Amino acid sequence: MARGDIFYEAWAEYPPTEWRQGKKQDVHVAARWKREDAEAKLAEFVASQTARGYPPERFWVEEKRVETDFEIPPLPTPRERYTAEAETLSKPGEWTQVRVHVLRDGTEIASFHRNYGLLSAFEPFRQGGRAYALIAPDYTATSVMDLQTGEIIASEKPHSAGFCPVGFYVPDWHDVHDASMIPGSRYWSTDDEWPTGQFGFVWGCVWGDDTSWKVQYLDLSRITEGIIVRDDRFGYVALATEPKVHPKDFIQVWQEDGKPTVRFRIELLFDLDTGTAAAESYEGIQHEGTDRQKTVWRSGPVDPP
């Protein structure tokens, strides 16, 4: 798919009615890459509407051309191509040490040492047509690996009181949108060209904290400059995660009219007798006007913003 490529839109027209103020109504039925697919969808729509007693006055298929430079990212996603396997190096009773082997399509391309179990601390993602991965060689710091070279290009500095990553999530375009969408079709907007791998999420805890996992925001827009930014803009929010469930099932993102939104599945305690939310659960959520803590780390010579 590229600018100038041909696609087909199916339309139906309904006659004027009083409740339409005497105006005809054009209904966009579907957009498809092949004419026969658009015609099949249109035939299905007309049959369904006719059976319900609302037959369109006329219907047709129009040939269109893509008039945007955006291209839908290819499949499979980086998360499907790249995997990680942990080889335990430590002996029973010792502090866990592992060698993490990074594989692309089943073949090892890189590896790194990690001073804790792997958990869910490996998240491949793409940005600008290149594949990267969020990793945590040190259990108190988030890092970014370039999956083309196997090099770590951005990293937080390990700290004994640092935020310990348990899992990562960088929303891919295919996590948010339907792959059957056609750029430039009737209801396409710039919101449909988002996300692009510029941000992500990390969940974990400060060492010695309770057993719940807090979620924080990762600004990945300057990783190629060696800069990674993490902040707690959501507050002290306990994320309801599940190791064997795709992160998009407990972190959902979308953008509408240029405004990005995220929905978390969180843990929230209630008093069973009164039905009120526990203060420590509710008050930890970030509210408008409150300050947030931001941590900026750089691995190169560029000064952080």
In the numeric block, the tokens 């006055």 are attached to: 57
- What's the first-to-final CA gap in the chain, in angstroms? 36
Tens of pLDDT along 90-114? Answer: 999 999 999 999 999 999 999 999 9
Report the distance separating Cα 258 and Cα 192, nearest Å.
Answer: 10
Token pair for 176: 């948010």
Can the peptide bond before residue 76 be classed as cis, meaning omega within 30 degrees of 0?
yes
Tens of pLDDT along 191-240? Answer: 999 999 999 999 999 877 777 899 999 999 999 999 999 999 998 889 99
**Whole-prediction pTM:** 0.89
* Number of Cβ within a 10 Å radius of residue 243: 8
Tens of pLDDT along 233-281? Answer: 998 889 999 888 999 999 999 999 999 999 999 998 888 999 988 877 7
Burial of 276 (C-beta count, 10 Å sphere; 0-12/13-18/19+)? exposed
Does an H or E element contain 99, and which? strand 98-104
Least confident of 14-18, 85-89, 183-187: 14-18
